[in-house]
Structure 1
Amino acid sequence: MEVHNKTILLVGATGGIGAAIAKQLDQLNAHLLLVGRSEQALRQLSAGLSHRHILLLADINSAAGRQQIVTQCQQQAIDIYINAAGVMDFQLLAQQESVKIEQMINTNLLSPMMLCQLLLPLLTQKSSAAIVNIGSTFGSIGHPGFAVYCASKFGLRGFSEALRRELAGSGVQVLYFSPRATRTALNTHAVKQLNEALGNRSDSPEQVAKMLIASLKANNGQQFMGWPEKIFVRLNALCPNLVHKALVKKLPIIFRYANENTG
């Protein structure tokens, strides 16, 4: 789907990936509705864009916030909804705070699903529209230390796949886009050290944004970033026990940095 001159709702616009997407869409002359929870961050983002866009201070995790977004979308007649909202907490489940668990499930899965439902009447009126959910490699591979985060992204992937099939007879395409490790503020010092210790490669937010927009233009239903991550996703689907054994061998390293994250 082409993005030039399209009206695009971008939720989570002030995050690392969200801001990079906003800047690249701005250069492609898209009309943006930028949603975030920090007025200061929204204004800073807007100041770096070449065009004037609509800023909306709203919390996707509240019913009132979602209704704010829908009301604004009704006025703007959006063509594309990009969900870039997301939170992560690297922690062993036995030590994880319940508030962190609820936050990840709500922000990464439940709230995007509920907003999608509210936006469907608007999007299905269009001859061509799109929903883009940003997931993670951990939405396909269960990784120790990220059990709840994985659950939320596994759920988002399943939701996107089912919705894509449900809307196959309409003009609405649904894309699930899966980055690998990305260099954003979402990563704590412990996560960065873990990635280095495990030899995990990472991408910049700009690289992720570029690939996402290319996937949207190409109408890709699912897109996974990174090598060898793409192979691991396929391997985990076909031979999960092989990936299980490989990750179990790395448990001492994972435990070390998870315990550091607790402190």
Structure 2
Amino acid sequence: MSMQRPRPPRKNPLARTTAPLLPPATRSRAAHGLTRAAARGEFALHTCTGCGTVSYPAREACPKCLSDLVVAPVARGGTVLSITTIEISGEPYFRRLAPARQALIALDCGPTIVAEARPDCVAGMRIRASLQLDKAGQPVIYARPENGDPESDTDPHWRELVADPLHRRCLITDGRNPVTLPLAKALLGAGAAKVVVGISERWKPFADAGKLEALGAVELVDLDLADERSVAGLASDYAAKTDILVHNALHLRPGSLFSGGEVLKARDAMEVSYFGALRLAQHFGPVMRSRGADGDNSAAAWVNVLSIFAHLSWPGFAAYAATQAASLSFSQALRAEMRGSGVRVLDVFSGPMEIDWLEHLPPPKVQPAAVAHEIVAALKGGEEERWVGDVAKDFRDRFSANPKEIERDLWRQ
């Protein structure tokens, strides 16, 4: 990276922790049509169903023919018409980030917009626009040079919109998950300062332990998500040092509702996936929330690695699907709890992975390394939702269009 930010100095422990502030969060219902696109890293604007006109800002009806509007993907390109530098703002949040650059941009898809601009944008330049979620979780448009290096951002305004692992300290909660080793590699490859990996029952054989330790900036720690004392003990040492927390606990066992011992399977899965997440939230959550605006040393994101079956039960894995649904509900509650801090809560939904417990399923299946890559990409993009693999994306589209159709389709599997 030609313009990579230098590693920030360690924070003075005697210095006051900066209180989180949020940008203005008021949006109309129509404007929230852009929120889903921003959460998924897509660029979409309101488009007329009658004449095809693309409009911005959000409106209730087409400004040309008064037909209905739908949010649809549009071209990201545009040309900067002018640049304005705002030296001081009446909003306390923006006063911390002054100066700010605002660009008037003619988008290729039609409308002329005002957007935040990277410092190297100038009048007449071709730009690439993106929809981002700001610290308040609301959609905003950010512009960067069309041919610029996407990895060279030193703009503090951009860093407010993403959870880049660069120089961050990360915690992965389940070292035995097949995703953990490639995820640790991906986080370190993205510039993470340190990766702490929790492992339960370390006396049990663990093939990846040596590989994780060989990465250098990885520390293995004891963490039993089913044990309150274990979680509390780890939090006392690491909660204030965790900038990105990845909850990837995996307890996958086959069985239908009528299978023998299904209650025990469900209880074990809930202890790790849902109650484990709840324990983490109680011990890590308040500390991370208080550090959401602590400059370059701030807490940035909480990642929940989930299955697509959090949205719809999988008959052959009934207990697992139920725990995933509970974990998704937890994630939504956590996002609401974190709303005043600016800490991003990211849900990563994967289709069936290439692991031993799912070897009987036909392809396509997702490689653990692909899940790890998508997690890091979603953090860099400032997203709230990422779907991994062709199966997951097909599920997303079909579930959105007709959930009853895909429910019946799962009956046959």
- TM-score, structure 1 normalization: 0.84
Hey, what does 1:88 align to over in structure 2? Answer: 252
Note the 1:34-113 alignment, pairs <5 A: 34-39=197-202, 41=206, 43-49=209-215, 51-74=216-239, 77-97=241-261, 98-113=263-278
After TM superposition, give the deviation of residue 237 of structure 1 in Å.
4.4
Match of residue 22, structure 1, among 164, 184, 209: 184
The question of whether the paired residues in 1 share the 8 Å contact of 2:301 and 2:344 is answered with: yes
Match of residue 184, structure 1, among 349, 355, 359: 355
Matched-pair identity in %: 22
CA distance, structure 1, for counterparts of residue 379 and residue 354 of structure 2: 22
- SS of the aligned residue for 1:224 comes to strand
Hey, what does 1:120 align to over in structure 2? Answer: 285
| C-alpha spacing 1:96/1:83, structure 2 compared with 1 (3 Å) | farther
The question of whether the paired residues in 2 share the 8 Å contact of 1:17 and 1:184 is answered with: no
After TM superposition, give the deviation of residue 13 of structure 1 in Å.
2.1
Q: Which amino acid aligns with 2:171?
A: L
Match of residue 409, structure 2, among 226, 233, 246: 246
CA distance, structure 2, for counterparts of residue 168 and residue 230 of structure 1: 27
Greater share of strand: 2
The question of whether the paired residues in 2 share the 8 Å contact of 1:13 and 1:22 is answered with: no
The question of whether the paired residues in 1 share the 8 Å contact of 2:166 and 2:190 is answered with: yes
Q: Tell me which moved more, 38-47 or 123-132.
A: 38-47
Residues 1:140 and 2:302 aligned together? no
CA distance, structure 2, for counterparts of residue 203 and residue 237 of structure 1: 21
Q: Which amino acid aligns with 1:83?
A: H
Structure 1 segments unaligned to the other structure (5+ residues)? 255-263
Larger RCO, structure (CA 8 Å, separation 6 or more):
1
Could you give the per-residue CA deviations for residues 138-172 of structure 1, whole angstroms, max 9, x where no partner exists? 11121111111111111111221232233222121
CA distance, structure 2, for counterparts of residue 11 and residue 157 of structure 1: 17
Residues 1:13 and 2:179 aligned together? no
The question of whether the paired residues in 2 share the 8 Å contact of 1:82 and 1:132 is answered with: yes
Residues 1:163 and 2:334 aligned together? yes
Could you give the per-residue CA deviations for residues 24-55 of structure 1, whole angstroms, max 9, x where no partner exists? 22333421111111435364233331x23322
After TM superposition, give the deviation of residue 230 of structure 1 in Å.
2.1
After TM superposition, give the deviation of residue 235 of structure 1 in Å.
2.7
After TM superposition, give the deviation of residue 16 of structure 1 in Å.
0.4
Structure 2 segments unaligned to the other structure (5+ residues)? 1-162
- State the structure with more CA Rg: 2
CA distance, structure 2, for counterparts of residue 2 and residue 132 of structure 1: 13
The question of whether the paired residues in 2 share the 8 Å contact of 1:14 and 1:45 is answered with: no
Hey, what does 1:231 align to over in structure 2? Answer: 394
After TM superposition, give the deviation of residue 242 of structure 1 in Å.
1.1
After TM superposition, give the deviation of residue 179 of structure 1 in Å.
1.1
CA distance, structure 1, for counterparts of residue 322 and residue 401 of structure 2: 19
Q: Which amino acid aligns with 1:104?
A: A
Hey, what does 1:261 align to over in structure 2? Answer: none
Q: Which amino acid aligns with 1:247?
A: L
Cα RMSD after superposing both structures: 1.9
After TM superposition, give the deviation of residue 83 of structure 1 in Å.
0.6
Between the two proteins, the alignment pairs up a number of residues equal to 240
Could you give the per-residue CA deviations for residues 219-242 of structure 1, whole angstroms, max 9, x where no partner exists? 211111222432323433442221
CA distance, structure 1, for counterparts of residue 392 and residue 195 of structure 2: 31
- SS of the aligned residue for 1:9 comes to strand
